[in-house]
Structure formats: structure tokens, C-alpha cells
């Protein structure tokens, strides 16, 4: 994900084969363009009786596929695509005679269409014989508990929740209705996962925060007694870690989207609808406002406030609070190595240069004062 939002157009083939072949291997649900339009709220331009059953890229789509255009750089492919239908914005309606779904937001419409054509597989209800469930835990009858999952004392699992193989749900933790935990997710004691959230493999929710006190030259561990509270409709990527609060709770609000390998430290609050790309690190007690977007590998220091609606570019280092929403960037653009070394060398001399300029400005002001303010320097 870029700092400004998700990638706008999946129009290149994945390794190992065409996008159409990949889509076909995933299966599809045949449906008419007219019915798709009704379900996603788009307008039809062309033949609404066209049947599609898969999503694919413009380049590799076939007659039973539906493709989309969200990035203008792929507009030329509209003229050559073999797709049975395409999803476009109002400005691209005349660019192809292919049957179309017209939407003000083609990428979001594509997401809805892909969900309809490629629904997630629903595991069978019930508890695998190898799962270990404490007698005091509560598991809804409609839930699915995978092989070797462990559910500790007083934990609760909601209706239609899916607990993947080798997951661990800690003492008194709560997993809400329709939550999906992929394999090997760990939910520490007393943490809460809100309804309809999705947690990918390897994520760890509620491990201790990095709380240590210097005690005579040795580190003394500070008990971390807070929780992690995850709201509804949250997605947490693979191997992402969210630390429990030191005293108060770490909070992930509704509809937050977290990529893979993110570290969120203790007592952070991530506002609703924020989207954070991979390898971001957020130090403790930082508050990220609603609707923020943070690019990959950005690093945010602790005890900061980031205004709602802020966009932070990839690899940006944030050391102070951001009080006003906007786009913030600190990473230096890539340069040829020799040029970068020259720029870095000059950057190291900026303080010296600033001191020299300050002295020159002072000398100039003194000279003008001695000259009676006429501006003539002798």
C-alpha cells in the first residue's frame, strides 16, 4: 500500500501464470452483469445479460471474466481486453465497447464484485477432535474450531466464528461473532476481538509491552496488566503484533486495516478506519486518529498524537505530534549512490552553513547601523 491508499489497479499477471488462469483455479460463481449491478449499486452500460464468473486483469481476462480500470496508466488496455465485462469510472465509458459496470469508485466496486464472485470458503461447524477446550470456556454451536486449537479457561467464542488450526485463545479472552482467525494466531488472556474481524496467520494479540524500569543498572520488568481491545470489522495481517496495555488498554477501533508485520506497542490507540501498511512500527502511548493512512516501514515515536485524516508516506520517521491533517514525508527519494553521497555530505554541513549565514547577517546589520541605515556598506 502506498502512503496515499491501496494500489489502484491489479493489472499485471502474478508469477507462475496469467491472472485469468489464477482466477479460474480459484473457482467462480456465474452471474449476469445485470444482477451484479443490482448487488453492487453500479450502472450498466451495454449488454446486461453477459455472464461472468471470475475477476481478472484487463490484460489476461477472457470472455467469462470481469476486469476493472482504476489506474489511468492501464487505460490503453481497455481497447484490447478480451474480458466479457469491465468496471470503469464515468470518464472511461467511451473507451471500450465492452459491456460495463460504471461506478464513481471502480476499485471499491471491483472489491464488492470480487467478494460476490469468489466468496470465502466456510468451514464446517463443530470442534475438531484434537482441539483442547477448557470446560469453563464458551463456544457457540455455530463456531468452527480447527485441529490442535487451544481455548483456555473462561474464554468465549462467538457465533459462526472460525478458529484455525493451532490457534491459542487465552484465559477469559473473547472472540466475537463471525470472527475468522487463520492458523497459528495467538490471542493472549482477556483480550477482545470484535465481530467480523479477520486475523491472519502468526499474528500475536496481547503479548507484553516493552515495559522496563532501570533499577540500579538492571532492568526490572513492569507487569503489563492492560488488554488489547480490537473493534469490529478489523483486519490484522500475518505476523503483526499488538502489545497489551501497561495499565490501560491498547485499542484498535472499528474498521482498522493492518498489513503484515506491523508492531503496535502498549497503550496505543488506532482510530477507526485507519489503514497501516507493512513493517510500520508505532511506539507506546501514541494515538493515531481516524481515517489516517500510514505507508510501509514508517516509524512513529511514542507518546505522540497524529491528527485524524493524516497521510504518512512510506519510510517516514515521525518524532513529534502531527496536529494538522495533511501528507507528511521525511524519507529521501532514491538517488544514484555517488549522488546520494554528495548530497549526504552537504547535508552534514548544514549546521555549519547556517552558523556562517547567521554571522554574515549580523555583520550586515551592524554595517548598515554604522552607516546610518542607508544600506551602504563601507
DSSP letters along 92-136, please?
Answer: GGGG--SEEEE-SSHHHHHHHHHHHHSPPPPPPSEE-TT-EE-TT
* Separation in Å, CA 288 to CA 29, 232, 236, 315: 39, 17, 16, 17
Q: Catalytic residue, from 266, 273, 303, 337: name it.
A: 266
* Separation in Å, CA 270 to CA 181, 192, 234, 267, 336: 20, 15, 11, 10, 37
Q: How many CB atoms lie within 10 A of CB 94?
A: 10
Q: How many CB atoms lie within 10 A of CB 325?
A: 15
Residues 6+ apart with CB under 8 A from 317: 298, 299, 330, 331
Rounded Cα distance between 146 and 165, Å, is 5
Active site residue 60: no
- Separate counts of helices (H) and strands (E) for the chain: 5, 39
The answer to whether the CB of 318 falls within 8 A of the CB of 304 is yes
Residues with catalytic roles: 266
Amino acid at each position: 500500500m502506498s502512503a496515499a491508499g491501496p494500489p489502484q489497479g491489479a493489472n499485471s499477471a502474478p508469477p507462475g501464470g496469467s491472472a485469468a488462469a489464477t482466477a479460474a483455479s480459484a473457482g467462480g460463481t456465474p452471474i449476469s452483469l445485470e444482477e451484479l449491478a443490482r448487488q453492487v449499486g453500479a450502472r450498466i452500460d451495454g449488454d446486461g445479460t453477459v455472464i461472468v464468473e471470475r475477476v481478472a486483469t484487463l490484460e489476461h481476462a477472457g470472455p467469462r471474466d470481469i476486469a476493472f480500470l482504476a489506474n489511468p496508466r492501464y487505460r490503453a488496455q481497455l481497447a484490447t481486453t478480451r474480458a466479457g465485462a469491465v468496471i470503469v469510472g464515468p470518464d472511461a465509458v467511451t473507451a471500450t465497447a465492452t459491456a460495463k459496470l460504471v461506478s464513481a469508485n471502480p476499485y471499491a466496486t471491483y472489491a464488492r464484485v470480487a467478494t460476490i464472485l469468489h466468496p470465502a470458503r466456510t468451514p464446517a461447524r463443530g470442534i475438531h477432535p484434537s482441539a483442547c477446550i477448557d470446560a469453563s470456556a464458551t463456544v457457540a454451536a455455530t463456531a468452527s474450531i480447527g485441529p490442535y486449537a487451544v481455548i483456555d479457561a473462561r474464554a468465549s467464542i462467538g457465533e459462526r466464528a472460525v478458529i484455525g488450526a493451532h490457534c491459542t485463545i487465552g484465559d477469559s479472552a473473547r472472540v466475537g461473532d463471525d470472527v475468522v482467525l487463520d492458523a497459528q494466531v495467538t490471542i493472549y488472556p482477556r483480550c477482545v476481538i470484535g465481530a467480523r474481524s479477520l486475523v491472519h496467520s502468526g499474528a500475536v494479540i496481547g503479548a507484553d509491552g516493552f515495559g522496563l524500569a532501570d533499577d540500579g543498572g538492571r532492568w526490572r520488568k513492569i507487569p503489563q496488566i492492560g488488554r488489547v481491545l480490537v473493534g469490529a470489522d478489523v483486519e490484522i495481517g500475518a505476523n503483526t503484533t499488538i502489545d497489551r496495555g501497561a495499565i490501560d488498554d491498547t485499542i484498535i477501533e472499528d474498521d482498522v486495516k493492518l498489513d503484515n508485520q506491523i508492531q503496535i506497542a502498549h497503550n496505543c490507540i488506532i482510530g477507526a478506519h485507519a489503514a497501516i501498511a507493512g513493517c510500520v512500527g508505532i511506539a507506546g502511548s501514541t494515538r493515531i486518529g481516524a481515517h489516517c493512512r500510514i505507508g510501509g516501514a514508517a516509524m512513529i515515536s511514542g507518546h505522540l498524537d497524529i491528527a485524524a485524516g493524516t497521510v504518512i508516506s512510506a519510510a517516514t520517521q515521525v518524532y513529534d505530534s502531527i496536529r494538522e491533517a495533511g501528507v507528511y514525508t521525511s524519507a529521501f527519494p532514491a538517488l544514484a549512490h555517488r549522488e546520494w553521497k554528495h548530497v549526504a555530505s552537504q547535508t552534514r554541513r548544514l549546521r555549519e552553513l547556517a552558523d556562517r549565514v547567521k554571522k554574515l547577517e549580523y555583520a550586515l546589520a551592524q554595517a548598515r547601523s554604522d552607516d546610518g541605515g542607508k544600506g551602504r556598506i563601507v
